Structure 1
Amino acid sequence: MTRIPVADRRTALVQAALRVIARDGVAAATTRRIVAEARMPLASFHYVFASRDELMAELIETAVGSEQTDVAPALSVDAAHGGMRDAIRAGLQHYFDGVRADPGREKAMLELTQWALREPGFEPLARRQYASYHEVAAQAAAETARLAGHEWTRPLDEIARILVSFTDGLTVGWLVTGDDAAAAAVMDVAADALAALAVPSGAGSRADTPAADAPHHRTTHHTPAPSTNAGTR
């Protein structure tokens, strides 16, 4: 019998667990169900993972990494050739096409998020999951603005959170209804709303600084607004 390297066994078990969760839910993802899905003996599981919880933690990290790869170009599609609104809309469509192509993965990710939030000690995994989503969204939003010759009028992390909120709602709504037309309407509104938060490069910079001809005494009493430190969901 060919000996399977440990790294390959881990990958196979993680992918098997993802399939079980996508199909039957987290509760069904017992070690026996997972090894059966992977077509491995039970001993293989315990050789690779110390516990089911260790597998679940790696599963979330792996799934998030996969989603990062798929979502990363979402907002930069054709940004250099169209306006900001069209670039955002194209990016949302790119994201949605990924959801439609593998709805099982999206269901599994939603289940894993809820599991991590309910399971004592695993809440940080859910926060890590959304921190990753926000990071990818921020990178994509920054690249889109650069290619389209625009800049955001709100902080980039705020734009990222708005975008993730839109895509979360889009995903859940479509998984429940399967209504492509409704999803398209959501993407249209989201693109309009996000594009309204961007201006051509240079247009917003003057609004962020006092006017050159403003009286000096008007600026000396300016008190900066306190910064906010929004945590991940």
Structure 2
Amino acid sequence: MSRDGLAAGTTRAIVAEAGMSLASFHYAFASRDELLRELVHRVVGHELSAAAAAEVPEGAGLADCLRAAAAGYLQHLEREPGAEQLMLELALHSLRDPALRPLARQQYRAYTAAATRLLEQAAAATGATWRRPVPELARLLVALVDGATTTWLVDRDTAATQAVLDAAVGLFVAEHSELAR
């Protein structure tokens, strides 16, 4: 699905590529929808791991932490563009199918939870506090990253995307945080 898109990810195509039987697929997953839920969980986990794995220098400030996380995510995006395109495709497809709509909600709840953890960890590591509720800021961060992801998938301009993320972090931190006293 990362390579050929969501529509190409039929259970028959998946088992053919995996070299397994359809019965084996259904032993692991009750349905394709269950596989898609697991896919969301794993991809969001990879995204968060990429953002969290970024090296942050000793004594770094809040903006430095968030810039490092953004750079880590951008490296992930460059390595796994098909996975990120699939996630966008999956969200939009799920919104059109009432049976799958909960999957899109689950996907964005997972993004928001990951952003919440990232913001809380960055604040704790730097002694900063957020002026607005972290869940609200996490939703804003998800919207920023979604826009940057979509734009990068269209133009593949890493330098421009990095510059936009750097500027967004600067504005985000200046507007919404303060150092602990």
TM-score by structure 2 length? Answer: 0.87
Return the alpha-carbon distance in structure 1 between the equivalents of residues 7 and 70 of structure 2: 32
Amino acid across the alignment from 2:83: R
1:214-229 equivalence runs, <5 A: none
Instruction: Name 1:199's counterpart in structure 2.
Output: 178
Instruction: Name 2:13's counterpart in structure 1.
Output: 33
5+ residue gaps, structure 2: none
Instruction: Name 1:122's counterpart in structure 2.
Output: 100
Q: Tell me, yes or no, if the aligned pair for 2:127 and 2:180 is still in contact at 8 Å.
A: yes
**Higher helix share goes to which structure?**
2
Greater relative contact order, per chain length (Cα 8 Å cut-off, separation 6+):
2
Return the alpha-carbon distance in structure 2 between the equivalents of residues 165 and 79 of structure 1: 27
Instruction: Name 2:83's counterpart in structure 1.
Output: 105
Task: Note the C-alpha offset of 1:98.
Answer: 1.1
Q: SS in structure 2 opposite 1:28? A: coil
Are 2:167 and 1:189 equivalent residues in the alignment? Answer: yes
Return the alpha-carbon distance in structure 2 between the equivalents of residues 134 and 61 of structure 1: 13
TM-score by structure 1 length? Answer: 0.70
Counterpart selection for 2:158 from 172, 180, 183: 180
Amino acid across the alignment from 2:106: R
Q: Tell me, yes or no, if the aligned pair for 1:134 and 1:161 is still in contact at 8 Å.
A: yes
Amino acid across the alignment from 1:29: G
Counterpart selection for 2:37 from 34, 45, 57: 57
Amino acid across the alignment from 2:149: T
Counterpart selection for 2:136 from 158, 169, 179: 158
RMSD: 2.1
Counterpart selection for 1:78 from 41, 56, 59: 56
After superposition, what is the alpha-carbon deviation per residue over 1:10-33, rounded to whole angstroms, capped at 9, x for unaligned? xxxxxxxxxxx1111111112221
Return the alpha-carbon distance in structure 1 between the equivalents of residues 127 and 159 of structure 2: 30
Instruction: Name 2:2's counterpart in structure 1.
Output: 22
Identity across the alignment (%): 44
Q: How has the CA–CA distance of structure 1 residues 68 and 91 changed in structure 2, closer, same or farther, with 3 Å as cutoff? A: closer
